[in-house]
Every structure is written in structure tokens, then in C-alpha cells.
Chain A
């Protein structure tokens, strides 16, 4: 392992951390503006032109607010829970190819931290660990509503993971590899996987909402209890870390879906790179669109949906894919 590789990796890690932490902040601005537009409001307008500096104002607020650790909470776990959410979200990003390889000052850069040959398993596995954050935060809070929220987090977790795994299995069988780069290269030759695996695409997309805890499945922080679920007892930057983790997860899953199903960055041209960013933007926008358009489902409805509808459909999809590939 030479030092050039080490320096390159550290630079990549820092760039990804900075870019996506900033994007998480800007994502909240977009979310508020999009929701406001869909509900015929103005959204943030007062701070800066079109409320653009609202992101900075929120950041200052989160960083400078007093960090309160209430009595009766289980201290160490209460403190570490937000870190788990944020850290695992960024750890998952290590295996995602954000852009095609490009040459910068005569040096070839691969915008992926570690091209491991089990990329998709790693990304999904580490993202799943992120749900430990809300679970631990809720259980350590010594607050009944937080505990209920943690119970819902466990319910969401054991429901969606089966669907994600089985939905992604059929495309994996076709590609014959778990590496996201291989997925991209397969789609250059054979066209988008979306056309051959539409069922798997829809299932994975639905499961992505559960994975990030976004609105139809926003059970971990139940909005209609008016409080913030697992985050009720949190304040300041600890709550902000939950937030950064959630938005970073949304961005990363918005990268993973196009790479898996919609051709990724294609043959690696500049056009392909911008196409990937465009697709990512669409999927991120869709998260916000759904939040404006749909109510939350109940936890039992989510479990019914995952176990009795989506899982059988995913299994049938895998069997049919296997039969088609065999004959």
C-alpha cells in the first residue's frame, strides 16, 4: 500500500464528508421549498435572498444550542446514538461510485473510496446498521413516546430488509456480481436493468422509503404525535446528527437506485456523469414529492405490506428470473 493511495483515499473521504454534510443542509432547504410550493406557501423567505441563507442560520442554531442530557437517560448510549446514524450513513458511501473515473491534472481519479467486489451488499448492510441510531436513542431516552418510536423502528427494520434483499437478488443474478461498478458496466452493454426487472425496481424503490424512514414509512419519528419520536429528548447538534444522517442516507440511496437500475453513469462520458446527477436529483425530489402527497401508514400496515405483499412478489420475481435465465 503506497502513500499515494493513502493520500488519495483520505482526500476522497474528506471530500465526500464535506460535500454530503453540506448537501444535507441544502437538502433541508430544498425540502422546505418543494413542500411549500406544493402546499401553495412561500417557505423560508426571510434570511437572505429567497431564504437561501436559512441553511446557515439553521446550522448556527444547531451548533450553538445547549447540549442537554436529561436526567434518567442512559448516558453513554444516549450520547452515541446520533453518531451511529450519521457515521453509518457516510460509511455506506465508501462503496458507491459517485461519478465515472476522470483525469485531474494528469492523475486518474476514481470517485469511489473502495471498489470492493461486494459493493451493494456492503452499502445495504451498513445503511441498515444506521437504524440502530433511532432505536438506541429511543430506548435510552427514558421517555415513553421515544420508546414507542424505538419499537416502531425495530418493526420497520425487520420488515423492509427482507424486501430489499430479495428485490435486489434478481438483478444480481442477471449481472452475476455484487460490485456497483459491474452493475454499471453490465448496463452499458445490455441496456438498463429497469426494462428487464421493472418489478424489482419498484420493490427496491418502495423499500428505499422504509430504509431512509421517509414519509409513507416515516414511523420512527411519528409526526402525528406532534413530538419527534426518538428525537424528543435530543437538542442541539446531537439532534442535528440524526438529521444529517437521514438526509445523507437519502442522497446515497438516490445514487444507488440509478446505478442499480437506470444505467448509472453510462460509459463514463461527461454526459453520463451529468445524467447520473440528474437521475439522483429526480429520486431525491421524489422523496420530497411523496412527503407532500402521501400520509403516513400505520406500523401494522407497513408490516402487512412488506411481509404479505412485497415479499411474495419479490420471491416470485426471483423464481421467474431464475427460470428465464435457465431456459
Chain B
């Protein structure tokens, strides 16, 4: 019974939060509702017994939405409504409805035909942290490593884009050129 109550409560809260995120014109409301919705989703993981994923959901999405807040703070006056450019409302509504119906159909199809099986059913007595680790490092090792490499590429790209003088290479320059650059820096600082 408690699971049912918790499920319906958090289902309602999550949908309400994402509804606010989509419909509001104010950046602060949208960001706050997004953060709340993401954190409420973790409740479903806890209800299903996947504690590890629940905690990861909270940690990852608080950090991610916090970064969004930082950008929102820089780009908007977050306490005022943003003037939105609404194009053809008919196309937007019909495409959104179509996409929503298709997603529901895709996820409901295995449930309706009762053809859904767990690839890796939960084993009694083993915590789900360990199970996530085992599956990640056996069956899904390649996608895991590829994701790691992609994140590394993104990080290097970010550093190159944000850093100064990343187009210069100190090893390829002579001592005189390096000295020249250093002197220029000193002038800027003083």
C-alpha cells in the first residue's frame, strides 16, 4: 500500500513539475521545477529498490541543474518573464503530441504483450551497487569505455576553448619568443 501511495504521489508531483517547466515563461520557475522534477524521479528508483541509481539521480541532477542555474543567472534576469518567440502553434502542438504518443507506445508495447524480461534479474543477497558494477564491467564494458572517452574529449575541448593561448605551443617556440610573450603579459598585468 505504501508503495502505491508513494508511487501516485511522486508520479503526480513529477508530472506537475515538468508541466511547470514546459509552460512557464519565467526562467527561475522553469529551472526550479526542473530540479524538483529530477529529484522526485529518484523516488521511483527508491520504490523499485534501486537505491544506488536513486542516489546517483539526486547527485547528478542537482549538479547538472546547478550549472544551468549559473547560465540562467548570466543570460537572463531570472525574476522577470522571458519574451518567448512562438511560431506556428499548430505544428508545435501536433508534433509534441505525436512524439509523446509514440514514446508511450514504444515503452508500453512490451508491457502490453507481457514480453518483458529482465536481462539481468536481481540476485538475492547482492546489493544493487555491486550488480551495477558487475554489469557495467562485463556486458556493457565497451559502451562504458566509449562514454568515458567521449567525456574526456569533451573535457579537453572545453579546456582548449576556455583557456587562453591554447593555440601556442611552448615546446615549439624559441626562448626569445617565450620571453617576448611573458613581457607582454607583465605589461598587461601592471
- Point out residues on A near B: beta carbons under 8 Å: 1, 72-74, 76-77, 116-118, 121-122, 124-126, 128-129, 131-132, 135-136, 139-140, 142, 147, 150-151, 154, 157-158, 161, 165, 177-178
Contact = CB atoms under 8 A, between A and B. Distances in A.
A158 B66 contact: yes
B79 A154 contact: no
Given A139-B69, A154-B73, A158-B63, A118 B51 contact: yes
Question: Lowest 5 CB-CB distances: which A-B pairs, in order?
Answer: A121-B55, A125-B58, A125-B59, A118-B51, A154-B70
A73 B51 CA distance: 37
B63 A73 contact: no
A178 B53 CA distance: 13
Overall SS of chain B's interface: helix
A140 B73 contact: no
B177 interface: no
A125 B55 contact: yes
Given A77-B28, A136-B32, A142-B79, A118 B55 contact: yes
| Residue of B28, B32, B39, B73 with most partner-chain A CB within 10 A | B32
A271 to B, nearest CB: 31
Contacts of B129: 117-118, 177-178
Nearest to B27: A139
Interface of B: 2, 26, 28-29, 32, 35, 39, 51-52, 54-56, 58-59, 62-63, 66-67, 69-70, 73, 78-79, 127-129
Contacts of B28: 74, 77, 136, 139-140
B70 A77 contact: no
12 contacts: A117-B127, A118-B52, A122-B51, A122-B58, A124-B59, A132-B66, A135-B66, A135-B69, A142-B79, A154-B70, A158-B66, A177-B127
A77 B69 contact: no
Contacts of A76: 29
Contacts of B78: 74, 139
Given A132-B62, A139-B78, A151 B70 contact: yes
Contact of B73 (A116, A128, A139, A158): A139
Given A135-B66, A158-B66, A150 B73 contact: yes
Contacts of A74: 26, 28-29, 78-79
